[in-house]
Structure 1
Amino acid sequence: MRKFLGVALSAMMVVGLAAGCGKQAAPDAAENTTKPVAEAEEKKLTVTTWDNETTPQFNATIDAFKKAYPDVEIEIVDTAANEYNNKLSVMLAAEGSDPDIIWVKDMGYILSMVEKGQAMSLDEFIEKDKLDLSVYNGAAEQLQVDGANYSLPYRSDWYVLYYNKDLFDKAGVPYPSNDMTWEEYEALARKVTFGEGSAKVYGTHNHTWQALVTNWAIQDGKNTVVAKDYGFLDSYYEQALSMQKDGIIQDYAQLKTANIHYSSVFKNQQAAMMPMGTWFIGTMMQSQASGETNFNWGIATIPHPEGVDAGTTIGALTPVAISSTTDVPELAWEFVKYATSEENSKVLAENGILTGILSQEALDIIASADKFPADEQSKEALTYTEYIFDRPLDKNIEEIRTVLNEVHDLVMIGEYTVEQGIQELNERVGEIKGY
């Protein structure tokens, strides 16, 4: 996976808008021609999204598709990110044809959908339209289940370090660089922590996801979150707990109890830094454009372990799939094909969203977009030297993630020592995997 994604996210889609509904015609990206579109019995699609109001990642695609196909009605079923998979499971288990289009929040969830017969195979559509999967440069194949395509790459994300330039200036501390170890990052966070009470600025922010600890432990490519021995997590949990104890990051229990979203912490200037995915670039650009925020911000490459090359990052693909119960499969396919097209990658790039196509053109569009940080370091931070999946496509990944999340909670609130947490992970994951 690591080798594939080192190059994979540098070309991935020339799919284009090949068909539609009604009597419209649309350009075929592969042949650069126009072909007729079959009549659709219905002209309505239901799509699932998460946190739709706070990010342009879905509406940009939906709006662009509706402009091309004005006769199509699109109903959005939106859910909070932390509830999305649970709600989706309920929707897919219920009788009926909704939803039609499913954005898959976590890559491994597609395995569960296929196992339960909830995802439609795209192979016949791909063959009919002669869709060349090589344009995805390996990403489509990485999403295959038993050699079949049930989804296509929609978005590509990896972790970067966001920082508030104004808070660094106020503290008189130099900005983060594009080459910092996690030890140097912690030292920097301690320098830029200042203030008291409600006016306190934390040096950095760890959201409540277990990935905000475990990701850094697999950044060297030697381990994954599906393991026999989780001892490799030890130093990363110790660092997070130390920073929490010293007030460099906010208290985990308070964040969890109050269900505080990471975006509000950064937008409200409560933290000088924040490791987060590239999807947050679009959120910040949208926030700046609307006047919700007006401080100076930037991004740097994510810090790295000692001995690992600068620019090595952790990330994942966001697939888009079609429900096996859809009653408008042809129309749903046209949406999926457009959503993962080169044309749409440019639309998304204008909104700060990195797609399955990581072309230089898309990067240039983002770097020159209004409200993207103008400094060279932020532009350079849009690239990486190595890209590692945050979790493998393992048939047990969702069950294992449940264990990881439960143990993460217990360690971060102090109910378990790090040693106890690692022991429980070894035992419970071992039972799941039969080790």
Structure 2
Amino acid sequence: MKKRTQKLLALATVLTMGAGMLASCGNKASSGENASGETKAANGENASDEKKASGKTTLSLAIWDENQRAMTESLAEAYNKEHPDVTVEVQLTPSKGGEYWTKLEAALTGGKAPDVFWLNVLHLDSYMEGGVLADLTDAIAKSDIKDNFPESLVNNYVRDGKYYAVPKDFDTNALWYNKAIFDKAGVSYPTNDMTYEDLVAKAEELKAAGLPNGVYPFACPVDFQTWYYQTVFANGGWILSEDKKTSGYDDPKTQGGIQCWIDMIDKGLSPTSAVLAETTPDAMFEGGQLAMIYAGSYMVPEYVGNDNIKDTIDCVVLPSFNGVQTNCINGLGYAVYEGSKNKEAATEFAIWLSSKEAMDIQGNSGVVISARNESQDLFKNSSDKYDLSVYTKYTDKAYPLPVCKNASQLYNMEAKALQKAYSGEESLKDACAALKKEADEFLAKNQ
């Protein structure tokens, strides 16, 4: 344990860098998340080293999304019912501002981490090197996971032939729009067969119609997973080489997939980067300040639960780019704490979370898309008001999020460099040239 703790402590600075931004990879922090005393932080006691008076084993499950708390508690109740000797306690810590990761890492270094916890691929390598992730290879081999989950999602958590997490869900992206803004402007709604050029034309039509002060046709933030990675990949660009040794920021095709969003800002079709630094696109859309927005499937519960917009919004598939139906896919997994006093019970619970029963409970909630193949359609069927099939329609064509060792640092330097291009401080070509040099030096040190 001492050696493992020392490893994690050495990585702590890296892990916490950009945690706020990384919270968006997999699930974004809900603006309605409650960090008051009624929620349980994922940094406290490892409940697995305690036994209730009844003799039950208590397992802790750490999550970060308020929108998924009720669903997760339903999973705990279902497991408790089937396993009377086990009690599962859900611990929620908001991801906003990186609080989830900060508290989780403190718990891991202190040896009192949750038995099972949400993990995204951006933290996998550092946690694996820190020695805090249980090897689930044998347990997964005895389960039906490899036969019933998308191979790309299962392999997200494989390193050197070992499995370190059970796939939980995945997210893709769609175009949402506010019908009230379109109606007032006299502009037709977006459709499922739009191209990027159609999106720009639609935004220009809205602008020409004269939108109210403070209302914009669209938003173009420096957001890799939801915005520019879609068009980079569709344009034939790339971020990381297969061997993770070089970056593709200097490739004209990569830059073409980024420049298209800067062009929309320059045309006044999106708020400036300075405005978006003050107010997020999600907040603007929910406040009726955006006619259109790209949004991950994890934002659906928040949008449809917002009384201000829920009756005036709808969604379509992302516009194609250069004839390619583009999307970026990412997801979460359930990891087991290597230092758990009840690691066997925790592993059994993690594997159960991949079962059809558990995945159906998650899917029927409508909060996320279950990773299990036969449970994916439950998300789109969870609403008869919105066509949520737009999120699952092209998953087979979606591009996986590019990751590398200590990916958080790479994404931070990427965002910092591109912010200069989005703001007009530098040309995209110059910003990417500097980014290429910095990124390749970073990759050389992180093999």
Q: Secondary structure at the match of 2:431?
A: helix
Aligned to 1:305: 321
Matches within 5 A, 1:200-239: 200-220=214-234, 222-226=236-240, 227-228=247-248, 229-239=250-260
- Indicate yes or no: 2:73 matched with 1:69: no
Of 91, 104, 110 in structure 1, the residue corresponding to residue 106 of structure 2 is 91
- Indicate yes or no: 2:443 matched with 1:433: yes
Aligned to 1:155: 169
Q: C-alpha distance in 1, partners of 2:57/2:391?
A: 44
CA contact (8 A) 1:367 1:379 kept: yes
Deviation at 1:179, TM superposition (A): 2.1
| Structure with greater helix percent | 2
Matches within 5 A, 1:405-416: 405-416=415-426
Deviation at 1:40, TM superposition (A): 7.3
Provide, for residues 209-241 of structure 1, a one-character-per-residue CA deviation record: whole Å limited to 9, x for no partner.
233443133332733322243433333433322
Of 430, 433, 440 in structure 2, the residue corresponding to residue 420 of structure 1 is 430
Aligned to 1:146: 160
Question: Please, which moves more after superposition, 114-123 or 323-332?
Answer: 323-332
Deviation at 1:121, TM superposition (A): 0.7
CA contact (8 A) 1:119 1:323 kept: yes
Of 93, 101, 106 in structure 1, the residue corresponding to residue 116 of structure 2 is 101
Provide, for residues 318-367 of structure 1, a one-character-per-residue CA deviation record: whole Å limited to 9, x for no partner.
222112222232332243223322222222222222111243x642x334
User: Measured at CA, do residues 82 and 262 of structure 1 come closer, stay the same or move farther in structure 2, by a change above 3 Å?
Assistant: farther
State the TM-score, normalized to the length of structure 2: 0.75
The amino acid that maps onto 2:149 is: Y
Q: Secondary structure at the match of 2:357?
A: helix
User: Measured at CA, do residues 421 and 82 of structure 1 come closer, stay the same or move farther in structure 2, by a change above 3 Å?
Assistant: farther
Q: How many residues align?
A: 378
The amino acid that maps onto 1:403 is: M
Q: Secondary structure at the match of 1:121?
A: coil
The amino acid that maps onto 1:223 is: G
Q: Secondary structure at the match of 2:262?
A: helix
Aligned to 2:15: none
- Indicate yes or no: 2:261 matched with 1:240: yes
Q: C-alpha distance in 2, partners of 1:136/1:368?
A: 19
Deviation at 1:122, TM superposition (A): 1.0
User: Measured at CA, do residues 190 and 390 of structure 1 come closer, stay the same or move farther in structure 2, by a change above 3 Å?
Assistant: farther
User: Measured at CA, do residues 75 and 142 of structure 1 come closer, stay the same or move farther in structure 2, by a change above 3 Å?
Assistant: closer
State the TM-score, normalized to the length of structure 1: 0.77
Question: Please, which moves more after superposition, 162-171 or 419-428?
Answer: 162-171
Unpaired stretches in structure 2, ≥5 consecutive residues: 1-47, 49-53, 241-246
Q: Secondary structure at the match of 2:180?
A: helix
User: Measured at CA, do residues 414 and 102 of structure 1 come closer, stay the same or move farther in structure 2, by a change above 3 Å?
Assistant: farther
Provide, for residues 191-210 of structure 1, a one-character-per-residue CA deviation record: whole Å limited to 9, x for no partner.
2244343xx32111234423
Q: Secondary structure at the match of 1:108?
A: helix
The amino acid that maps onto 1:282 is: P
CA contact (8 A) 1:46 1:98 kept: no
| Identity percentage of aligned residues | 18
User: Measured at CA, do residues 395 and 42 of structure 1 come closer, stay the same or move farther in structure 2, by a change above 3 Å?
Assistant: same
- Indicate yes or no: 2:282 matched with 1:263: yes
Q: C-alpha distance in 1, partners of 2:381/2:230?
A: 30
Provide, for residues 264-314 of structure 1, a one-character-per-residue CA deviation record: whole Å limited to 9, x for no partner.
2222221111112122223333x05xx464422221111221132x3x321
The amino acid that maps onto 1:329 is: K
CA contact (8 A) 2:136 2:165 kept: yes
Of 302, 323, 331 in structure 2, the residue corresponding to residue 283 of structure 1 is 302
Aligned to 2:33: none
Question: Please, which moves more after superposition, 350-359 or 151-160?
Answer: 350-359
Q: C-alpha distance in 2, partners of 1:253/1:180?
A: 29
RMSD: 2.9
CA contact (8 A) 2:418 2:428 kept: no
Q: Which has the higher contact order (CA 8 A, sep 6+)?
A: 1
Deviation at 1:380, TM superposition (A): 5.2
